[in-house]
Amino acid sequence: MLRIGLSMQKVKAIFISHEHSDHIKGLTVLAKKYQLPVYITSGTLLQGGLRLDDHLLFRFISHQPVRIGELEIIAFPKLHDAIEPHSFMVSCKGIRVGVFTDLGAVCEQLTLYFKQCHAAFLEANYDEEMLANGRYPYFLKNRIRGGKGHLSNRQALELFTACKPSFMSHVLLSHLSKDNNCPELVHKLFSQHANGTNVIVASRYQETELYYIGDEASPITVKRNGEREIVPVQFSLF
């Protein structure tokens, strides 16, 4: 956050999607250091073996909105190999951003929320041919592509082309496999079907630029390569 000019004071809460280590490692230290409330399901809390101070612990319930300042967060169940996995849609002043990663398959609820989003973080984890011919053991390949693992480029693209609303300004392709995907490949694939939506591939190795999502055209400041510059964009986000 520091490298893109953001203070931790901007963080008001943490929402936990599921208990896998890449999503909860360091959570207790971070929450305690900055006194951040943690929103989590009871099953995820138990399965993750997390020890959080009572005053920082809050449970969320599927489809019930949670208010954090001007933000409204709705969690909904997803298909993933965890105890109570959830995805999220974050809304503010009529603008909706989806956080849709760690998905084994596209389900009815995912399509419902995707159709409402002005921007979305969408998992495009693996290229099917690269996974099939790659170095992963057979059991792991099956876990990834077995319906409760991760979305392939093809599955993500099918959701994008079938359900993308006309007002979606940005899609940030996320959670790409280091071994089984290629950023250039997936960017080219989605760009061919973008129809005006900005396609951004989130890097595994560095922070993504700031994007601002809004409802009217205005010049905004974006930080690129350590320098700030004014960029005209149609919509604004983070």
12 domain-assigned: no
227 domain-assigned: yes
Report how far residue 64's alpha carbon sits from residue 211's, in angstroms, rounded to the nearest whole number. Answer: 27
Q: For residue 84, what are its two tokens?
A: 């109570």
Instruction: Tell me what the pLDDT averaged over the chain comes to.
Output: 90
Residue 165 has pLDDT above 50, yes or no: yes
185 domain-assigned: yes
32 domain-assigned: no
Question: What pLDDT, on a 0 to 100 scale, did the predictor assign at position 2?
Answer: 86
Predicted confidence band at 222 (pLDDT cuts at 50, 70, 90)?
very low
Question: What pLDDT, on a 0 to 100 scale, did the predictor assign at position 163?
Answer: 98
DSSP-based three-state secondary structure for 93? coil
Question: What pLDDT, on a 0 to 100 scale, did the predictor assign at position 214?
Answer: 78
85 domain-assigned: no
Structural domain including 199 reads 94-233
Question: What pLDDT, on a 0 to 100 scale, did the predictor assign at position 35?
Answer: 97
10 domain-assigned: no
Is the pLDDT higher at 108 or at 211? Answer: 108
Question: What pLDDT, on a 0 to 100 scale, did the predictor assign at position 215?
Answer: 62
Tokens 């959701």 map to which residue? 159
Report how far residue 22's alpha carbon sits from residue 158's, in angstroms, rounded to the nearest whole number. Answer: 27
Question: What pLDDT, on a 0 to 100 scale, did the predictor assign at position 75?
Answer: 98
C-alpha atoms less than 13 angstroms from C-alpha of 37 in its C-beta half-sphere: 11
Distance of CA 26 to the CA centre of its chain: 19
118 domain-assigned: yes
Q: Which residues pair with 110 in a beta bridge?
A: none
Q: Phi first, then psi: what are they for 40, rounded to 5°? A: -160, 155
Report how far residue 55's alpha carbon sits from residue 47's, in angstroms, rounded to the nearest whole number. Answer: 20
For residue 106, what are the CA distances in angstroms to 22, 76, 79, 113, 201?
22, 13, 8, 11, 20
Question: What are 10-25's pLDDT values in tens digits?
Answer: 999 999 999 999 899 9
DSSP-based three-state secondary structure for 21? helix
Question: What are 57-89's pLDDT values in tens digits?
Answer: 999 999 999 999 999 999 999 999 999 999 999
Q: Where are the beta strands (DSSP E) in 124-236?
A: 170-174, 198-201, 218-224, 227-233
Q: Count of domains in the chain? A: 1
Query: What is the mean pLDDT of the segment spanning 138-153?
Result: 98
Report how far residue 201's alpha carbon sits from residue 182's, in angstroms, rounded to the nearest whole number. Answer: 10
The region, left, alpha or beta by phi > 0 then psi within -120 to 50, assigned to residue 70 is alpha
Predicted confidence band at 8 (pLDDT cuts at 50, 70, 90)?
very high
- Residue among 17, 87, 75 nearest 48 (CA): 17
- The letter for the amino acid at 196 is G
125 domain-assigned: yes
Report how far residue 49's alpha carbon sits from residue 25's, in angstroms, rounded to the nearest whole number. Answer: 11
Report how far residue 93's alpha carbon sits from residue 58's, in angstroms, rounded to the nearest whole number. Answer: 24
Question: What pLDDT, on a 0 to 100 scale, did the predictor assign at position 4?
Answer: 87
